[in-house]
Structure 1
């Protein structure tokens, strides 16, 4: 991915990783459009970053996705990159019989990016060079059992990214997957943003941008902190690693995250 002179749409750009990426790319001379469901968060991002644009978007709503894609064709015909960052993460009791959280998570984390990619594809294909950036997770490769559907959607996004990259191999569109570790954001609530066990947001985005600058043809961006999860299956003791990892998360983390969702 070229690091500057892009027109980039970033979903979930009002908070967390999305906003931090928006600001990092904006500082490098890119035209940025952030989307999200909450107008007040988008406005805060615009106020802090003159020159950015914003469009409200409910990524769960196929009709809203089509509306936004239509608006972008008119307002930003040079759009050549989309960063699929919007997502939610919820704890689930799989013995409880309730699938509402699972359905919402799949609609947001998986169907949303698939539908938005499809809606933007004609515009991306007509550019000289374009990039589709997906944001998966280290939990795509070693799931955390207390957030099962989140992990499943991120594993699906990884798989989808591989298939998308292959199908687009003879086009001007490239596919880049960013694989975050546990990062200090409010994904599961305010305590998440100050958890000392999570990677500071600025450090994460700085490392991501450095990797993209150094390796513009990269297909995956994995900061050092996520590599144990990304490479868990290759380590030879996956079952033991899975057990240790989830045992560590099932106590205090489960209590902290219980009932919490993304803003």
Structure 2
């Protein structure tokens, strides 16, 4: 995608990767509108970035999405980039009973949210000379974390959806790109300074550089070997990956 001159709407733009990319794109001269559920956080981020706008949104609610889409088109008619970034990542143990409420919330937020948000704005995007739909998935879409089983499944499903949508939009002016982060040291899990996690500034810098091209997937160099997983032998890779986590647990908040 082009990196300047856009009007960009970003879900989940008040913290972590969403805020980092929102601020980086804002500095490049784009008009950026962030969203989130908490008004105080939206106000804090926009105050720190003069010229940035915000809109309240509960990405798990179809009604909220439809309201936000109408407001966006009315107030920001030049909107040409929809960046689906909002999500959350709880730990779970699917060797036993699953918390149905958490599972449904994950699916509504991480999978249906981006699908609904894009659907609400896709016809508007088609009216623009150049438009982009962005999805934040995860390296866990390709190699799941057993301790975040449902989260990993939602990201794998979103990756699959992006592949299909990209094909179906092939003859339009709308480009579909997917950002698949590695473990980045943010509050998505627990910001701990763990050396296995990529620093947020390094991730933002590398991702912005790669976004400037037309690659369908934005993959930082550190996770290319995992992205290129060994096909039919992926079971061994997934087992080894998760065994390494069992032996060296990811820190969680107390």
TM-score (norm 1): 0.92
1:100-123 deviations in Å (ceiling 9; x for gaps): 221111111000000000101121
1:203-255 deviations in Å (ceiling 9; x for gaps): 00100111123x2x211111011212211134x7423221121012125536x
SS in 2 for 1:183: coil
Q: 1:10 to 1:97 in 2, by over 3 A?
A: closer
Alignment of 1:1-263 (within 5 A): 1-94=1-94, 95-191=96-192, 194-213=193-212, 215=213, 217-234=214-231, 237-253=233-249, 256-257=251-252
Post-superposition offset of 1:130: 0.4
Residue 132 of structure 1 contacts residue 175 of structure 1 at CA under 8 Å; is this kept in 2? Answer: yes
- Farther-moved stretch of structure 1 (97-106 vs 133-142): 97-106
Could you tell me how far apart the structure 1 residues matched to 2:151 and 2:229 are?
Answer: 18
TM-score (norm 2): 0.95
Number of residue-to-residue matches in the alignment: 253
SS in 2 for 1:186: coil
Unaligned runs of 5+ in 1: none
Unaligned runs of 5+ in 2: none
Could you tell me how far apart the structure 2 residues matched to 1:97 and 1:27 are?
Answer: 43
Residue 141 of structure 1 contacts residue 233 of structure 1 at CA under 8 Å; is this kept in 2? Answer: no
Which of structure 1's runs of 4+ aligned residues deviate more than 4 A? none
Could you tell me how far apart the structure 2 residues matched to 1:8 and 1:90 are?
Answer: 28
Could you tell me how far apart the structure 1 residues matched to 2:176 and 2:236 are?
Answer: 33
- Farther-moved stretch of structure 1 (14-23 vs 87-96): 87-96
